[in-house]
Amino acid sequence: MKDMTQGSVTKHLLQMSAFLFVSMLVQTLYLLADLYWVGSLGKEAIAAVGLSSTLMMVVLAVTQTLGVGTTTVISHAAGQKDQARAELVFNQSFVLSMLVGLALSICAFLLRDWYGRSLSADAPTAALTKSYLSWFIPALMLQFPLVALGSALRATGIVKPAVAVQVLSVLLNIALAPLFIFGLGPVPRLGVAGAALATFLSVLVANVLLAAYYVRSYRYLRFRFSLLGPQIKIWWAMLKVGLPAGAEFALMSVYIVLVYAIIRRFGAEAQAGFGVGARVMQAMFLPTMALSFAVGPVVGQNFGGRRADRVRSSFYSALGISTVLMVLLTLIAQIAPALLIRAFSKDPGVIAFGGDYLRIISFNFVAVGIAFTTSSVFQGIGNTVPPLVSSMTRLLLFALPAVVLSHRPDFQIRYVWYLSVVSTLFQAVANLLLIQREFRRKLVFEETPGLAVASGGAASIG
């Protein structure tokens, strides 16, 4: 376990962010490589994978619930030097993740055909969506135990093993994807389903390797059969922190589904352009996302250790780094948006839609960085309701005008992107005001290092 209640918070943030960035970079390189191979199958295949990614956002929202709850409660326990509680939460998190993942995957598999037909612009896209989901849904199920294992490690300041496993898994995925997509020798040509099959196999390998690390090497948190029996009290300690965070993430899924529904009448080119643009944007956000994932455990350990000064320092340091990164990314998106899209599709329509999306949406990059950072600080403190409220308000400010405008005869897709920029700016300002209020309310304990150990049992956990 790495004690992040001592030493430079900026150094802790940068060290964790660096390793997390490597993991996310490799993962995104896979997503972009996958998109490149799928792109050669046509715009319907691109649109199908984009629609399937919407379901992935739903799964990510649920895993976000479990991951944030696990990270927060374990980091608080680690900051209080309470190893026994940290180990109990780890085992309970693993059990809960397995149960939720199984239930959600069964529901998704049964509804995959209806999902594809409801959102696809045409019948070929719907058929490809169903084909892709047949293997992609089992891959999503395996994300649940993987998130539980990774979140527990991150809460204790350990990221290298999870990153190493992730890199190996992604490299395997990159190697298998073209093999299954196009076929070779005895391996049949599976098309978009082949991309999903490669994902499933690589995630399966990642689960096995990370579980093996816990069994053979990690000593702070261990699997213990005596701690695997369901304990509702521990589940609630994680869920009351994780549910608002997961709901906030789920709102992103609602946003994406709404956009796909609004632009459906413009055809597969528009849906593909948005799908490619969104993935490129996600790739550009990697450094800031890595930073935000590091903020939660650093703030969590220091909040658990009753170090108010270090909680504030973590926030301001992360906010400064995030703003610089997002300004640079905004400039890149403004200079060459179409070039970024052209790398993954040669269709002029897709390039036009995707380039326009990136150029306009980049005006909210700095605001997105602020939203990421503040949300992660709220997660570390253990109160995830305020950022959920601001996210809900942002969605309402976007959705209602977007739906109204979409019924106008002179409606253009770019109106949707401008609305997104305005609503995200609102969310960023609201989060900044809310985090200052949270600091005044929660950071009222003594700021002496000795008190963290002496009164650890009295500090709030989750």
* pLDDT number for residue 27: 67
- In 10 A of CB 175, how many CB atoms? 11
* pLDDT number for residue 367: 94
Sequence-distant (6+) residues with CB within 8 A of 81 are 452, 453, 456
CA nearest to 297, candidates 366, 382, 384? 382
Q: How many domains does the chain have?
A: 1
**Distance in angstroms (rounded) separating the CA atoms of residues 451 and 440:** 20
Task: Provide mean pLDDT across the span 401-430.
Answer: 89
- Name the band, by pLDDT with cuts 50, 70 and 90, for residue 277: confident
Say whether pLDDT at 248 is over 70.
yes
- The answer to whether residue 4 is domain-embedded is no
Task: Provide mean pLDDT across the span 207-229.
Answer: 90
Task: Provide mean pLDDT across the span 356-377.
Answer: 92
DSSP string, 300-348: HHHHHTT-HHHHHHHHHHHHHHHHHHHHHHHHHHHH-HHHHHHTT---H
pLDDT mean across residues, the chain: 84
- Name the band, by pLDDT with cuts 50, 70 and 90, for residue 31: low
Say whether pLDDT at 245 is over 70.
yes
Say whether pLDDT at 89 is over 90.
yes
Torsion on CA atoms 54, 55, 59, 62, rounded to nearest 10: 70
- Name the band, by pLDDT with cuts 50, 70 and 90, for residue 458: very low
* pLDDT number for residue 323: 94
* SS3 call for 187: strand
* pLDDT number for residue 120: 72
| pTM (2 d.p.) | 0.77
Task: Provide mean pLDDT across the span 410-416.
Answer: 84
- The answer to whether residue 42 is domain-embedded is yes
Task: Provide mean pLDDT across the span 250-255.
Answer: 79
* SS3 call for 299: helix
Give the burial class of 56: count Cβ atoms within 10 A of its Cβ; 0-12 exposed, 13-18 middle, 19 or more buried: middle
Spatial contact of 81 and 5, defined as CB atoms under 8 Å apart: no
Q: Residue 187's beta-bridge partner residues?
A: 184
Spatial contact of 377 and 314, defined as CB atoms under 8 Å apart: yes
Sequence-distant (6+) residues with CB within 8 A of 353 are 266, 269, 270, 272, 273, 274, 277, 413
- The answer to whether residue 461 is domain-embedded is no
Say whether pLDDT at 450 is over 50.
no
* Stronger pLDDT, 185 or 138, i.e. the higher one: 138
* pLDDT number for residue 324: 94
- The answer to whether residue 458 is domain-embedded is no
- The answer to whether residue 372 is domain-embedded is yes
- Name the band, by pLDDT with cuts 50, 70 and 90, for residue 393: very high
* pLDDT number for residue 188: 83
CA nearest to 19, candidates 150, 124, 205, 140? 150
- The answer to whether residue 104 is domain-embedded is yes
Measured CA angle at 17 (ends 391, 253), to 5 deg? 30
Say whether pLDDT at 418 is over 80.
yes
In the chain, pLDDT over 70 holds for what percent of residues?
A: 93
- The answer to whether residue 456 is domain-embedded is no
Sequence-distant (6+) residues with CB within 8 A of 122 are 44, 267, 268
Least confident window among 102-106, 207-211, 377-381, 452-456: 452-456
Least confident window among 167-181, 259-273, 385-399, 400-414: 259-273
Say whether pLDDT at 451 is over 60.
no
290-345 per-position pLDDT tens digit: 888 889 889 999 998 888 889 999 999 999 999 999 999 999 999 988 888 887 77
Q: What is the DSSP letter of 231?
A: -
- Name the band, by pLDDT with cuts 50, 70 and 90, for residue 205: very high
- Domain interval for residue 355: 9-447
Say whether pLDDT at 238 is over 90.
yes
* Stronger pLDDT, 373 or 183, i.e. the higher one: 373
| Alpha-carbon distance values, 228 to 96, 141, 242, 262, 344 (Å) | 9, 20, 20, 46, 45
- The answer to whether residue 20 is domain-embedded is yes
Least confident window among 51-55, 240-244, 312-316, 393-397: 51-55
* pLDDT number for residue 33: 67
**Distance in angstroms (rounded) separating the CA atoms of residues 326 and 133:** 33
* SS3 call for 3: coil
In the chain, pLDDT over 90 holds for what percent of residues?
A: 30
Say whether pLDDT at 282 is over 50.
yes
